[in-house]
Structure 1
């Protein structure tokens, strides 16, 4: 199958370009850095569980599909529960984020989360290896990535460390890009970015699973900017969710949605709004049996499940009722889209705002 990679690679680039996700400025870098060189032999496809893909034809089919690929389970430990802990992002998302970073020749970039090394190699192909630093918290992944990047002909600075701290010895940077989600943008990233520079990171909250935020850094040590679309990434290792309190099923109370489709709660604009108004409430959704379902819980023993117009609420709080009340306020506020929201990061903390940095959502 190896003789077919060029055809597969060309087809993937053509699809990315046709979709508008791969602009001309990045086309040569993607052409020079084929994805398969950064994918290990043992990989998994993320479905309801992680399904191993190791055979020749299936491996090549997965590598050149526009999907994320799980490249590590259980932090590399054997006999674990099979939880994905590192992945190679879907090519559309890689291209979208690199485009949103808006790099220019000669600029220096810090990448948080080396992973397989593909993103770092793309940056090196575009900007020159001397202008790229990438930091990885897993020493085994860092070592493997450094090797495959070198084998591909690039030599960015691949370092082992906690990405939450950035990489001080290489600062300042013109751009910082994260390939893992964070709940709060570290102030270290702001300090290590030049005034006029940019930070691009997937931000994750409780009510919403992820969205990209693009921050411009001012000379006053404050970074501010808007959200630029959804983006689901694995969390930074230091920010993995803690265990939740158990829910007492004996407290179940049956009700209805009151005519409000549960799907409206999953709209990214509302999810951002609700994340500010319902701190600590977690939302998840999916179609495990073919029909849409939503789950809410507060990590302290309250929960709600919604399926085909039927609601069950558990524990001391009426989470569905609280969520519908916030949705009413959201509609009264003009039903803002995700691009109407923004974030400001300063030494004093992080603040989510709606339409203007002067209008924080508390």
Structure 2
């Protein structure tokens, strides 16, 4: 059931999205104005505060105005920490890692617009989350044309309750979103609200020729790209990265963060030399994205040693290789160990990128087959990468 008191917030949100150039479809605007986001944030959210903590906020513990101001703010809202903790179960700020969230409305609406959905299309949504994007799709296309799947049973149950309260009878399928769901396949569109290191080929098999798959690719919490590919008659898919994007990693594709004593793990290096490029380049979005293309299982870690000095690391645990960086008066030094010289590979990629004039992320093309992913940068022979599917 709609909550009349939030109608002004919904109308204001739609107008902001239109002014930002994100919301262009009248039918989708009608969905934004009709669907109450607050229903999909029960029992509450976590807001970031100083010290790396998360402050729980609930509708019951807030004034109606304060709660709606939070709900309709242009920000993502964490709804679960560490795979189980919700805001109604704690009163004080806590540490934790967000494992479910309500993505900023700008991103949600932009993805639906980018997917070019029209009346009559069927959509498979990977990652129901709170169910807000599901509700927008149901309003736009009709609930019978939307299939949504969520890996977390508790998250799915909350989404189902919110969808029912909003007047939709779509039910969330619980399962591994990486294998899709054949219930109504093939689909006109597949939209993933999680990040994947590689687009699962099963999504391509479940998409009609001419259909579109929209998903975030990459595994770092930044430096990821929104891939938009069109499925061909021969079972391949081709497209490009259409912009930056940031979503939580699909749980079954997430890499385990490096742990333990990092200094001990990097104690025995095979080589040591000054870097040609500073590792701090990886703090920038495009260099981080390109590094993941050249080293798809690498992880970048920022840390400090026992004396407080800054240390940066690259690890590729699958290939038992590492690079550790130390900053000195004359610049950075890299020590590398294992069968793959990780930083040598990254420097070749980033040097070629700089020589090409720093093309942005929208210049990256992607082709997917049942055996591989191939990435390339428009017109740059030195900037191409192949990834085998296993």
Q: Same fold (TM over 0.5)?
A: yes
Confirm or deny that 1:63 pairs with 2:71.
yes
Equivalent runs, 1:204-215 vs 2, <5 Å: 204-205=218-219, 209-215=223-229
Q: Which residue of 1 aligns with 2:385?
A: 361
Give, in whole Å, the separation in 1 of the partners of 2:166 and 2:36. Answer: 9
Q: Cα deviation per residue 1:34-87 (whole Å; 9 max; x = unaligned)?
A: 211111122102453332223314433321111111111222258996221110
Of 49, 54, 73, which residue of structure 1 is paired with 2:53?
49
Q: Which residue of 2 aligns with 1:339?
A: 362
Q: Kindly tell me: are residues 330 and 9 of structure 1, through their superposed partners in 2, closer, same or farther at Cα, counting changes over 3 Å?
A: same
Equivalent runs, 1:19-168 vs 2, <5 Å: 19-25=20-26, 26-46=28-48, 48-54=52-58, 55-57=61-63, 58-76=66-84, 82-168=96-182
Q: Which residue of 2 aligns with 1:175?
A: 189
Equivalent runs, 1:213-232 vs 2, <5 Å: 213-232=227-246
Give, in whole Å, the separation in 2 of the partners of 1:69 and 1:171. Answer: 32
How far is the alpha carbon of 1:360 from its aligned partner? 3.8
Confirm or deny that 1:298 pairs with 2:299.
no
How far is the alpha carbon of 1:119 from its aligned partner? 0.5
Q: Which residue of 2 aligns with 1:327?
A: 350
Give, in whole Å, the separation in 2 of the partners of 1:182 and 1:50. Answer: 26
Equivalent runs, 1:6-21 vs 2, <5 Å: 6-21=7-22
Of 236, 239, 247, which residue of structure 1 is paired with 2:262?
247
TM-score (norm 2): 0.79
Give, in whole Å, the separation in 1 of the partners of 2:379 and 2:164. Answer: 45
Q: Cα deviation per residue 1:238-286 (whole Å; 9 max; x = unaligned)?
A: 122214264217969999877x676654444333333233454334679
Farther off after superposition, 205-214 or 184-193 = 205-214
Q: Kindly tell me: are residues 308 and 225 of structure 1, through their superposed partners in 2, closer, same or farther at Cα, counting changes over 3 Å?
A: farther
Give, in whole Å, the separation in 2 of the partners of 1:307 and 1:207. Answer: 28
Equivalent runs, 1:244-283 vs 2, <5 Å: 244=258, 246-248=261-263, 264-283=281-300
Q: Kindly tell me: are residues 278 and 108 of structure 1, through their superposed partners in 2, closer, same or farther at Cα, counting changes over 3 Å?
A: closer
- Matched residue of 1:273: which SS? helix
How far is the alpha carbon of 1:126 from its aligned partner? 0.4
1:208/1:275 contact within 8 Å kept? no
TM-score (norm 1): 0.85
Give, in whole Å, the separation in 2 of the partners of 1:189 and 1:345. Answer: 11
Q: Kindly tell me: are residues 67 and 7 of structure 1, through their superposed partners in 2, closer, same or farther at Cα, counting changes over 3 Å?
A: same
Give, in whole Å, the separation in 2 of the partners of 1:19 and 1:147. Answer: 31
- Matched residue of 1:184: which SS? coil
Give, in whole Å, the separation in 2 of the partners of 1:127 and 1:357. Answer: 40
Give, in whole Å, the separation in 2 of the partners of 1:308 and 1:6. Answer: 58
1:115/1:141 contact within 8 Å kept? yes
Q: Which runs of 5+ in 2 are unaligned?
A: 304-309
Q: Kindly tell me: are residues 52 and 315 of structure 1, through their superposed partners in 2, closer, same or farther at Cα, counting changes over 3 Å?
A: farther
Give, in whole Å, the separation in 2 of the partners of 1:294 and 1:342. Answer: 33
Q: Kindly tell me: are residues 307 and 147 of structure 1, through their superposed partners in 2, closer, same or farther at Cα, counting changes over 3 Å?
A: farther
- Matched residue of 2:385: which SS? coil
1:262/1:294 contact within 8 Å kept? no
- Matched residue of 1:361: which SS? strand
